[in-house]
Structure 1
């Protein structure tokens, strides 16, 4: 299952981050709910946030997140965030967008961020001849109150990806392949408010619980298709002015833990 997850990982990584934007579209303020200063689940500018990502199979990677700029959009400050993820010799750079309005923190993912990160993974073993993507932009919305039973909601449409590939098997030979991936998030809620201690310190957090289903299918040449369908439960702790302090993603014995190490 780990190998199958690795095949489908490209889109999952981008979507789990769940923040980014294409052309910085304007945020439309609600006339009956004007912009106000809010303590949102968004990192602060002029700070860097370092994370350790540990997998149950022993794999370890690191990420460094920072707000690169804050731009005004219709009177609402929009944070642009860069997240650099490193694992051994691999480096993925994701660009993020997040804003707070009307008592909610909204994170967005559009096609470029998801597809660019996916390309970097797939091109390690195949050439991408053609692709189709649907379900963008994806959004994740947190209730800033962060009290028990506060909601976290997601886009209702799933993200779907279809790739036409050519996989080299030798210097002279290659085989055609197709890869399909679907990711569907389910709404969740806050289940507790608690203090979480990490190497970066102790934070007063909201504990959220939600899930997503990942389906993937890889067909190559005459080989039997390789399929995976997994539901992951996500437990996530967030703090105002920080964002994610810790998260645990689990499906059976397959567990990934992300934990804040330091803030500079």
Structure 2
């Protein structure tokens, strides 16, 4: 309960000496002995991730010392197996969310802050993205709130300079976003995030680098990505849509012009 309460302490600035050693000890001990409940462990991480907003020096501790990427990936995989994805929807009387779903959403919320504020390269990204892909596949039929959050996370990750586009390819993130474009309607909340994701990926790949060796290294990734888009019939659509993206957007960041379906020939 103490860790759960701490996880709700968000934007106020705290001196590291008041919490860092103790939180590190709690997380490391759990990683070795698995002594905490799922909600307590998630809460310890969420409290630490929330501190990134005010203190960027925590990046090294979170990424290199405590290995957040691997920890989050493992927890998401375990929770994906625990949630009853096929259960019938219960009436909205307060019993609709189960404990596992609440904890899972807590991890996804932690990842939103992580991708937004942590710009340190992380070798565990491919494993982490693969876990988010698994959650998205499991939740997209009956748990749109969870699957939409997964899509939103990929959009945030694509904006993060520490995330290599190659990681998104290897993990299957780009493949599943392409699948979601087939499934979604333009008035679905996640439609904007899917398109924004490809817009950000495109920007990242087109950005000129002073280092020519980096540009050479990106070419195979560019080729593989554009081949996927071309195979699905989206290359021209997404590239040209970027040019009028802001004009078509209306409100709530995901609503579009009533005649946009004419523009998307696959609709």
- State whether TM-score is above 0.5: no
Of Structure 1 and Structure 2, the greater strand share is in 1
**TM-score normalised by the chain length of structure 1:** 0.23
The structure whose residues are more often helix, as a share, is 2
TM-score w.r.t. the length of structure 2 is 0.23
**Structure with bigger RCO (C-alpha 8 Å, 6+ apart):** 1
